[in-house]
Amino acid sequence: MSQWKLERWGGGILGDAPLLMVIMDGVGLGSHDEGDAVFRAYTPTLAQLEPGWTTLRAHGKSVGLPSENDMGNSEVGHNAFGAGRVFAQGAKLVDEAILEGRLFAGEVWQNLISHCLKAGSTLHLLGLLSDGNVHSHERHLYALIRQAAKAGIQQLRVHILTDGRDVPEDSALVYVDRLEAVLAEVSTSHCDYRIASGGGRMVITMDRYNADWSMVEKGWQTHVAGVGRMFASAKEAIQTLRDETGLNDQYLPPFVIGEQGQAVGPIHDHDGVIFFNFRGDRGIEMSRAFEEEDFPYFVREPHPRVMFAGMMQYDGDLQIPQLYLVEPPVIDQTVSEFLVHQGVRQYAISETQKFGHVTYFWNGNRSGKFDDSLETYVEVTSDLGGFDQRPWMKAAEITDRTIEVLKSGAYDFIRLNFPNGDMVGHTGAIPASIMAVETTDLCLARLLKTIKQVGGVALITADHGNADDMIQKDKSGLFLRDEKGEFRPKTSHSLNPVPFAVYDPMGRVPHQFRELASAGLSSVAATLLSLLGFVPPDFYDPSLLLIDGMEQK
């Protein structure tokens, strides 16, 4: 028990008053342009807070993702909030899962293998072939291939997407040669492993933001149906298409590998399929094509019934895909676990869409409570249907219940998530997203009024951006338009920072923001511990606040 004991530094500077943390999901700080629904919204409460807030990084390495081009998400954001430090995500997490054997010991991998062995079917591996380490890495693919051979899979097909974007533009043949060597290494008279299809990443399969579903349709015809221009090998296909078109690898047309006029690797009923990219944005649409029953974007002909899994879950909010190989990181010694050992009473609330984020993900991917007597979790049932049709969602109900709890004095630390900015932002509907942000601001005003009444302190922040960046841009920052001249909506998260504000109407906590290089979400845990009167553990990222009277670690 001693490992959980935290030093008190002020006996609890809030006394019996509560600490409230408000997470405005998907509300980042954007470019103040036409695509920034946060800026365009009427938000007098946020405007009141803005002069005194600081900003936090909520993407890339600051939340454990491999590169600064990786968007944050609600899962890794709430992991960081609750863990107090950064855990590996994305490429690092896959590397560790393979090295430690967790990937192959996992239920999804084992079930895929059993499925294919029982059906006598083919295992298909689909993804970006390169070592760019932004969307995928070839070493992950090779590990899957070698382990499949060890497990007794007799037929395996690889469907490659050529890169030329995160790696040199004409490097595809280097990766194909290395892949062919691995396939030759494991192929025997009883083991048939081959490349089956391919094409440039900007032409087929890897669309994002619902920008061009025809790319996914081309990928479906190429990988699934095995329909397209046929070549004897991937090397022949790439070299021929380069010579004919003058295009670099990312724009190569689709191709199919065949023998005697027949594709060597179309996808059939009962096959297993793994999308081996770990980054989410360009894996979502093909995952949807494999998984969704009611699918509106193109006719899936053929439509084989397969067992499909992603390397990771690409969208935790929408649970895409449902099956994935690499589990979230193993996170221990979370802030809530520390707090229950100090006897701190906690209350967590959100609606269905984000309830798991203020509970499961906040607690380090742990189901259940640490102490039933000290913790209360409340889920407000979300509406069904499109969130752009009801952008207010359940923010008012969350606010009502939180106000009751604040006035009751029954809890020391209360955390809530308003999903509006994120869930409505995902629809791409800017007017609805503006209303979603305005709803959040209105509810925030009610909460801060109550905080003042009860003499408490509130922390206001977000887990990542979304509604702040809702129109696609080119590399120069100009908005992209479709063939009709209309803006192309962006429905993904953003790379923007998020606000962090302390609302202390009674002046109970003399403080200033600490000067931290690239402060991130993980520093919030030490901050709230400090406000609750505890010295944070040494291994937590430092508090965002310098508080008078407290000796900082």
Fill in the amino acid letter for 21. M
**Cβ-Cβ contacts under 8 Å for 306 (sequence gap 6 or more):** 267, 269, 270, 271, 272, 273, 290
- The alpha carbon of 551 is separated from its chain's Cα centroid by a whole number of angstroms, namely 36
Classify 452 as helix, strand or coil. helix
Question: Is 74 known to be catalytic?
Answer: yes
pTM: 0.78
Q: Is 379 exposed, middle or buried (0-12, 13-18, 19+ CB in 10 A)?
A: middle
- Residue 538: its pLDDT value, please? 93
Give the tokens for residue 296. 């509106």
Check the CA dihedral 74-79-84-87 and report its sign. Answer: negative
pLDDT at 2: 59
Q: Integer distance in angstroms from the first to the last C-alpha of the chain?
A: 22
- 489: preceding bond cis by omega (within 30 degrees): no
Q: What is the pLDDT along the chain (553 residues), one digit of tens a residue?
A: 458 888 887 656 687 899 999 999 999 999 999 999 999 999 999 999 999 999 999 999 999 987 888 888 888 999 999 999 999 888 889 999 999 999 999 999 999 999 999 999 999 999 999 998 888 999 999 999 999 999 999 999 999 999 998 888 889 999 999 999 999 999 887 899 999 999 999 999 999 878 789 999 999 999 999 999 999 999 999 999 999 999 999 999 999 999 999 999 999 999 999 999 998 888 999 999 999 999 999 999 999 999 999 999 988 767 899 999 998 777 899 999 999 999 999 999 999 989 989 998 899 988 789 999 999 999 999 998 789 999 999 999 999 999 999 999 999 999 999 999 999 998 889 999 999 999 999 999 999 999 999 999 999 999 999 999 999 888 888 998 988 899 988 888 899 999 999 999 998 877 889 988 789 999 999 999 999 999 999 999 999 998 876 654 4
Angle 355-361-367 (CA atoms, 0-180°, nearest 5)?
80
Domains contained in the chain, CATH given = 2-89+329-547 (3.40.720.10), 92-310 (3.40.1450.10)
Nearest to 347 by CA among 307, 301, 402, 395: 402
Q: Residues with Cβ < 8 Å from 121, sequence gap 6 or more?
A: 115, 155, 268, 270, 271, 272
Tokens describing residue 523: 């520093």
What does the pLDDT read at residue 102? 94
| 239 vs 232: CA distance, rounded Å | 12
Tell me, what's the pLDDT at 413?
98
Sequence letter at residue 531: L
One of 62, 74, 492, 543 is an active-site residue; which one?
74
User: Rounded CA gap, 362 and 355, in Å?
Assistant: 10
State how far the Cα of 36 lies from the Cα of 38, in Å rounded to an integer.
5
Q: Which two tokens stand for residue 125?
A: 């591996």
pLDDT of residue 508: 81
Tell me the C-alpha distance between 432 and 13, whole Å: 41
Q: How far apart are CA 11 and CA 317, in angstroms?
A: 39
Listed in order, strand segments (DSSP E) in 68-182 are 123-129, 155-162
Residue 491, helix vs strand vs coil: coil
Residue 412 is encoded by which pair of tokens?
């020391």
